[in-house]
């Protein structure tokens, strides 16, 4: 092996190291893009919630529903069943809003829109937090409850969830908390 072979082999090793570094950086960039998209979705939903809160009359009642928790609970459902239950929940919430002029409902779902777009018709908002980890529906709802306290908004808020940690935090932030069984019982009574 002569000097030019050593130089060539060194360059080959260096190119391989650079390729590995480029692959690692591409993966990191993809993760950062996903995180940015999650934050954009979280922020957009937070702004919409703040605008809704400002327009709520003082005697309004806000019902925040932990969407997938209410839809799925502990059941294992396929995609079609999950979305059929989601559509049924939204229809039930829309009927409740129509029946009670003081009621405002915010149904929050983890993740990105899945065959259903975010929607709002004044007193009903169906939103998707767009994220994972810290950017989930329960984080969004707790952020809203904190914002409500900071702004001095006093409308009644009830959070519907079976998630014990979320329920505990929501209660600490001043919301009444009910389990999804009350929501499902009301739907069956109607």
In a domain, residue 15? The reply is: no
In a domain, residue 30? The reply is: no
CA–CA distance, 151 with 149 (Å, rounded to integer): 5
The answer to whether residue 21 scores a pLDDT higher than 90 is yes
In a domain, residue 10? The reply is: no
Task: Look at residue 93 in the predicted model and tell me its pLDDT.
Answer: 92
Q: Strand 124-128 and strand 119-120: pairing?
A: antiparallel
Task: Look at residue 178 in the predicted model and tell me its pLDDT.
Answer: 94
Q: What is the mean pLDDT of the chain?
A: 83
The answer to whether residue 6 scores a pLDDT higher than 50 is yes
In a domain, residue 28? The reply is: no
| Domain membership of residue 169 as a residue range | 42-189
- In this prediction the pTM is 0.74
In a domain, residue 111? The reply is: yes
Q: How many domains does the chain have?
A: 1
In a domain, residue 12? The reply is: no
Q: Which stretch of DSSP H or E encloses residue 16?
A: helix 3-55
The answer to whether residue 141 scores a pLDDT higher than 60 is yes
In a domain, residue 18? The reply is: no
The answer to whether residue 24 scores a pLDDT higher than 90 is yes
CATH number, residue 107:
3.40.50
Q: Residue 92: which of 113, 114, 116, 63 has the closest Cα?
A: 63
In a domain, residue 24? The reply is: no
CA–CA distance, 147 with 49 (Å, rounded to integer): 10
Note the helical H segments in 56-179: 67-72, 79-99, 137-151, 164-172
Q: Is 127 helix (H, G, I), strand (E, B) or coil?
A: strand
């Amino acid at each position: 092996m002569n000097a030019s072979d050593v130089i060539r082999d060194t360059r080959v090793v260096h190119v391989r190291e650079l390729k590995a570094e480029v692959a690692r950086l591409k993966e990191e960039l993809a993760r950062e893009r996903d995180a940015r998209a999650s934050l954009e979705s979280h922020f957009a939903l937070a702004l919409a919630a703040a605008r809704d809160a400002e327009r709520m009359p003082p005697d309004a009642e806000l019902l925040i529903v932990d969407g997938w928790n209410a839809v799925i609970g502990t059941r294992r459902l396929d995609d079609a069943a999950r979305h059929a239950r989601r559509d049924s929940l939204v229809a039930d919430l829309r009927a409740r809003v129509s029946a009670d002029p003081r009621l405002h409902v915010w149904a929050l779902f983890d993740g990105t829109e899945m065959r259903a777009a975010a929607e709002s018709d004044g007193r009903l908002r169906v939103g998707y937090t767009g994220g994972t980890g810290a950017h989930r529906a329960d984080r969004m709802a707790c952020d809203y409850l904190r914002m409500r306290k900071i702004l001095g908004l006093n409308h009644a808020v009830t959070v519907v969830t079976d998630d014990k940690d979320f329920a505990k935090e929501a209660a600490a932030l001043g919301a009444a908390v009910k389990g999804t069984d009350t929501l499902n019982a009301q739907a069956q009574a109607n």
